[in-house]
């Protein structure tokens, strides 16, 4: 695994340095914040009609990170880190909550400086850059003019789901590859830690296998991370970080046309359980996913003891698996 050398000399620069530095709480590391946002957060704008405003429209910016209610503690940790914002219900049907900031002063003084210095590594960085442009237009009060409103409408028309596949694909490769030999950027383990919290899963597969005509009981354990295919470079960078694993489906990842024809979701799969255990021991999961990891590790330990070769062991292992992940 690679050591992080990205943030050793970075400092937060913003419109109001003294105000921001007094609010920052380092219970969470900066790259942990960015990893959470890359996996579970985003930068949004809402434009609604308002007959009383000068332009006839209201413009609101929002930065948010979502979590299932059972893992809401991490949202309060983010709030503590930034020293502003609120944790509120996001969606009752999906039982999710969100940490949100919509105050322009906090966006300008705290959120934008953070992501300038610790940028998103997925294509969400493109949304951040456009979001930042809009925030600066609003800071200068230009959104209250017809010209400023038109500029905001033009910028927002290409954000988030409206952004092209090609732009997102090219951005990730251009930002994550740092040499002509396709050498990938060294990821911060703190970013990997929280990105895995959001996008990763701990899996155990127990099934019959056949070798040389003989059937035996197989037990494979892995971590798997899924991403939209336009962000395939992110999975390649994670593969480089762990120095192993593979990506499904297989195709020429450096060919845009092949990527566009692949499944909408690509998946990184890594089965070196020792490396995974060593990593999580140093960088534990910060959400309820830690419980899934601990059960996953029980299966790995039981396999090492040969439990999968006995009926009693198999029953125990299957019982553990039956209560993991979405079944918990």
CA distance 65 to 134: 20
Question: What's the whole-number mean pLDDT along residues 284-290?
Answer: 94
Residue 208 reports pLDDT greater than 80: no
Half-sphere exposure of 40 (CA within 13 A, CB side): 28
Residue 213 reports pLDDT greater than 80: no
Pair 88, 110: CB distance under 8 Å: no
Question: What's the whole-number mean pLDDT along residues 114-124?
Answer: 97
> Backbone phi, then psi, for 93, in 5-degree steps?
-65, -40
Beta pairing partners, 48: 58
* pLDDT tens profile 9-65: 233 333 333 333 334 445 799 999 999 999 999 999 998 887 666 677 889 999 999
Half-sphere exposure of 315 (CA within 13 A, CB side): 3
CA distance 234 to 297: 26
Q: 87: which 2 tokens? A: 């944790």
pTM greater than the 0.95 cutoff: no
**Exposed, middle or buried, 49 (CB in 10 Å: 0-12/13-18/19+)?**
exposed
The three-state DSSP-derived secondary structure of 119-163 is: CCCCCHHHHHHHHHHHHHHHHCCHHHCHHHHHHHHHHHCCCHHHC
Question: What's the whole-number mean pLDDT along residues 164-183?
Answer: 92
Residue 119 reports pLDDT greater than 80: yes
User: Which pLDDT value is given to residue 22?
Assistant: 35
* pLDDT tens profile 141-159: 999 899 999 999 999 999 9
Question: What's the whole-number mean pLDDT along residues 313-320?
Answer: 92
Q: 310: which 2 tokens? A: 């006995």
Residue 99 reports pLDDT greater than 70: yes
- Could you give all domains of the chain from N- to C-terminal order, each with its CATH number? 17-163 (3.10.28.10), 189-327 (3.10.28.10)
């Amino acid at each position: 695994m690679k050591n992080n050398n990205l943030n050793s000399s970075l400092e937060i620069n913003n419109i109001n340095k003294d105000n921001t530095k007094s609010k920052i709480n380092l219970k969470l590391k900066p790259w942990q914040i960015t990893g959470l946002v890359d996996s579970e957060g985003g930068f949004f704008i809402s434009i609604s009609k308002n007959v009383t405003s000068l332009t006839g429209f209201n413009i609101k910016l929002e930065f948010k990170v979502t979590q299932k209610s059972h893992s809401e503690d991490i949202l309060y940790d983010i709030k503590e880190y930034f020293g502003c914002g609120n944790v509120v219900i996001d969606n009752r049907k999906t039982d999710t909550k969100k940490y949100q900031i919509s105050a322009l002063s906090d966006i300008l003084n705290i959120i934008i400086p953070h992501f300038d210095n610790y940028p998103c590594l997925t294509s969400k960085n493109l949304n951040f850059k456009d979001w930042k442009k809009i925030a600066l237009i609003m800071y200068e009060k230009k959104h209250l003019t017809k010209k400023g409103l038109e500029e905001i409408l033009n910028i927002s028309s290409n954000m988030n789901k409206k952004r092209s596949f090609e732009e997102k694909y090219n951005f990730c490769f251009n930002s994550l590859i740092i040499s002509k030999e396709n050498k990938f950027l060294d990821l911060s383990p703190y970013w990997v830690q929280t990105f895995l919290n959001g996008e990763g899963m701990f899996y155990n597969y127990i099934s019959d296998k056949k070798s040389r005509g003989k059937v035996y009981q197989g037990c494979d354990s892995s971590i798997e991370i899924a991403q939209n295919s336009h962000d395939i470079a992110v999975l390649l960078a994670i593969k480089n970080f762990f120095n192993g694993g593979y990506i499904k489906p297989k195709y020429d990842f450096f060919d845009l046309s092949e990527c566009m024809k692949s499944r909408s979701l690509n998946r990184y799969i890594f089965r070196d359980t020792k490396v995974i255990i060593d990593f999580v021991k140093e960088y534990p999961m910060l959400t309820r996913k830690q419980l899934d990891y601990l059960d996953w590790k029980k299966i790995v330990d039981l396999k090492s003891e040969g439990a999968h070769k006995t009926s009693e062991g198999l029953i125990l292992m299957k019982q553990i698996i039956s209560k993991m992940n979405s079944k918990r």
